[in-house]
Structure 1
């Protein structure tokens, strides 16, 4: 099959209208879906909107950093974006909601008393001891807190406050952002 100038122009037009490679192959006739895809790549045609709602050419990535041992507190914000996506032989524009995350600043309470760690090894832990890891597991000074923990928690009261954040505090912080 030869790609004539007319067929190439028709391919470019159909591609820009958002038709799939299979649909373009059917309209051109005498050409396979793979031949259409190959020609699109050789012509370096720009990407189209995908059915999932993400644009093939412009993806944004967000970098999230965490600091051990507590995870950062993220506030969720819903934004609306307009994207084009192929539906059959037509391209439709629709608005979708996208969750974006922003790291919130952690402000510790002013009168916190840090318990003195009992520096227990893994084999010394029981159901009633705090299992909060301290240090790097690959280093020799790695240990667990080992302080007394309530029946319902693997951590002592101090480490439980670091590990578990009340829902109402997260919502209030998200509303301020």
Structure 2
């Protein structure tokens, strides 16, 4: 449903009369209460206080009568006032006598139950749920004794002695007992000394000085 000019004028007229949104929706027909409220809000119509709060504010609240008010304050002014009779003093309260101190009675002796110990394999006694095992003393610290090198490599450079300043050229086979490394001062910028650098790095001959490779055996590979 679209809001025509006639329906908008009718909405403004009913809103100014103080009708509720539900009554306006019933009067216009085809709209809901929320649609009427939203259209009135967009038109900038003056908002009205809630009828529930207005009814509550219109009803005067009755003042509570204090419980300690005397009969003279509630009685009319023409009635003769009577002085209240004095109240008798309350009798003194007697304190209850203190009970005699209760003497603690000895607890009855419980019969000692037999202890059941389970024997495990090997003849050792298993620990029960109520038993407490004595703390186990800590083991003494072990002293790490370095292993003595074999006499074949006692004065030679081993794998643990390698660093950036010595030659790492291996001498011998790793499976042999006298396998070790060169250990000479390394050539700066290279992992080996000057002597072993000459073996590891060889200059490549010019192309004109290279020899052709030897022929393959049996005339070379067969071409199918």
TM-score by length of 2: 0.25
TM-score by length of 1: 0.31
When Rg is computed on C-alpha atoms for both structures, the one with the higher figure is 2
